[in-house]
Amino acid sequence: MITKTRALVLHSFKYGEQQMIVDFLTETCGRTSCIIKIPTSARGKLKKQYFQPLFILDTDIDIRQNARLQRLKDARIAVPFTSIPFNPYKTAISLFMAEFLRCTTRREQTDPTTFSYIENSIRWLDGCGEGFANFHIVFMMRLSRFLGFYPNTDNYEPGDWFDMRSSCFCRQRPMHVDVLSPDDARKIGLLLRMNYATMHLYRMSHFDRNRMVDTIISYYRIHMPELPELKSLQVLKELFAD
């Protein structure tokens, strides 16, 4: 059945001489992998340039139940980027986000609300001019709301610990190692108050930003133990140096 759906490119690689396999996160079908024949003629509808990380496409996919790879019949650029492919900082962020989403979104997951959050976040990144050094941190933390383990900030008070297993703040230190000290818990509380419009107001050193990234990824791994090492993370950590 041909299904029309908005899709985000997460990963692509060459398969044979004239084919590609592309992993998508789609609005109506969740995670979908497609095999794509790239025409040799310049007149062909499908261009390999469409399948770069986080490109937003309108697609026609031939969905076959139980098929490991679906057939992409057509794809069109839905949101032409004006800065992500041309800004090295945004490009590095987009590569990290694509890898992160590939590892944290599940194939059975079909959630238009989550898709909308991700698409709108990408649009914001492409459209902003400056002040986006904390973007990936805010994005990851807010994505946890859609994945089911957003921290519970009810009744937080200065001096509380943060229990990463239970996703909540507490007065007494939990009796396990997956806990953040009151100082780090305060930073998590601060992060939870950030959004894309205000995050530039929160100054972080290069060291603090990278430490926050490591903390968030550790938090994800507690709730998603299968989360692998992220190859693009080291490049991202080298950006935005003081």
pLDDT tens-digit readout, 205-219: 889 889 999 999 999
3-state secondary structure 57-93: EEEEEECCCCCCCEEEEEEEECCCCCCCCCCHHHHHH
Grade residue 19 by pLDDT with cuts at 50, 70 and 90: confident
> Would 83 be classed as within a structural domain?
no
Identify the pLDDT of residue 43: 65
Cβ(141)–Cβ(148) below 8 Å: no
Distance CA 32, CA 7 (A): 9
Give the single-character DSSP code of 224: -
- pTM here? 0.91
24, 44, 77 — which closes off a domain? 77
Asked if pLDDT for residue 108 goes beyond 60, the answer is: no
pLDDT at residue 109 is higher than 80: no
Q: Is the pLDDT of residue 242 over 60?
A: no
93 and 157 in a common domain:
yes
Residue 82 lies in a domain: no
Task: Please say whether the beta carbons of 8 and 19 come within 8 A.
Answer: no
Residues 124, 20, single domain; the answer is no
Calculate what percentage of the chain has a pLDDT beyond 70: 95
Show the tokens assigned to 30: 């969740």
Q: With respect to residue 115, please indicate whether it lies within any of the assigned structural domains.
A: yes
CB-based contacts of 123, cutoff 8 Å, min separation 6: 56, 79
Give residue 130's pLDDT band: very low, low, confident or very high (50, 70, 90): confident
Name the 3-class secondary structure at 94. helix
